Amino acid sequence: MTQRTVLTAAAVALVALAGTGASFAGKLRVVATTPDLASLAREVGGDAVDVTALAKPTEDPHFVDAKPSHIVTLNRADVLIEGGAELELGWLPPLLENSRNTKIASGAPGRIVASDGVRMLEVPTTFDRSKGDVHSLGNPHFMIDPVNVRTIAANMAEHFAQVDPASAALYKANLAKFDTKLDAKFAEWQKQLEPYRGARIVTYHKDFVYLAERFKLEIVEELEPKPGIAPSPSHLAKVIETMNAKGARVILVQPYQNRKTAETVARQTFAVVLDVPQQPGARNDTQTYFDMMDYLVTTLATALGAQK
């Protein structure tokens, strides 16, 4: 059986069991595709929402393992938050189709697309999906730019208020609190990275582009030849040459990327490999968006500082 067939069969059984059901303890049931979006939803929704993330913090957001339980979760949702820009193209559409929930249908107030209102980077002029590029609508890893996160949180508050007008004032107040904290943290992160303006770094996937743009770092290469395409020996040879020529000594990787490949490159370039997950919860000490960014910025600043 294909994955789609399995999901369809499971959906028929599980959705019948689930029914429509009342919201848990009167709270808005919010489902986010990834833990970073879920963390933001908790900040904005506070006590009025019950938030679930579909992807695990250690899973590649492009390639999440779709499970029948995800269909039940989506069937019961009042709100769905997705990254958009085809981040979830490989796994979300069949789950949604099987969840049969009009509240979270495309265009409904219960459907939030994080990329709406975000200034997308790397939008290609021609569609290149045939070659395996998973960023054919532009780069969807925009959550590590705090400026984007401000826009996305506001979008969430607006949708939450539409779906749940009784708590509109709460969402507004929570958003104001969140913005204040974000502004203060953003200033801290800028200060931490300011000494390393123009520093050259390498990443595994094109997933640090927004961070580099915001904090003025230079990404000289990616280990993947194209987003979603595994590194080839010929491409890695080129990466090593570029790193040595440009003096790039830091390689950033995420939990689901091939650390061995990164280490092989690091050995030939006198570089360090940094594990800097972009999802809250990937490490025990980084359960929120703020913790995750704190860890990311501090780890990067420390490594760059050691090389000065």
Residue number with CB closer to Zn ion (57 or 227): 227
Residue number with CB closer to Zn ion (178 or 256): 256
CB crowding 28-50: b at 16 or more within 10 Å, else e: bbbbbbbbbbbbbbbbbbbebbb
Q: Which residue is nearest to Zn ion (CB)?
A: 227
Q: Considering the complex, what minimum distance in angstroms separates the CB of residue 61 from Zn ion?
A: 7
Cα 278 to Cα 27, 49, 195, 301: the distances in Å are 28, 23, 22, 16
Q: Considering the complex, what minimum distance in angstroms separates the CB of residue 298 from Zn ion?
A: 24
For CA atoms 8, 133, 85, 153, give the dihedral sign.
positive
How many CB atoms within 10 Å of residue 84?
Answer: 20
Give contact residues for Zn ion (rule: CB under 5 A).
Answer: 227
How many CB atoms within 10 Å of residue 210?
Answer: 23
Residue number with CB closer to Zn ion (89 or 154): 89
Distance CA 69, CA 52 (A): 12
Q: Distance between the two ends of the chain, CA-based, in angstroms?
A: 55
Q: Considering the complex, what minimum distance in angstroms separates the CB of residue 254 from Zn ion?
A: 10
Q: Considering the complex, what minimum distance in angstroms separates the CB of residue 36 from Zn ion?
A: 13
Distance CA 109, CA 111 (A): 5
Residue number with CB closer to Zn ion (78 or 224): 224
Q: Considering the complex, what minimum distance in angstroms separates the CB of residue 257 from Zn ion?
A: 11
| Nearest Cα to Cα of residue 74 among 105, 41, 96, 42 | 96
Distance CA 202, CA 247 (A): 11
Residue number with CB closer to Zn ion (7 or 81): 81
Residue number with CB closer to Zn ion (160 or 204): 204
Rounded (10°) angle between helices 259-267 and 233-246: 50
Q: Considering the complex, what minimum distance in angstroms separates the CB of residue 86 from Zn ion?
A: 9
Q: Considering the complex, what minimum distance in angstroms separates the CB of residue 207 from Zn ion?
A: 6
Residue number with CB closer to Zn ion (83 or 280): 83
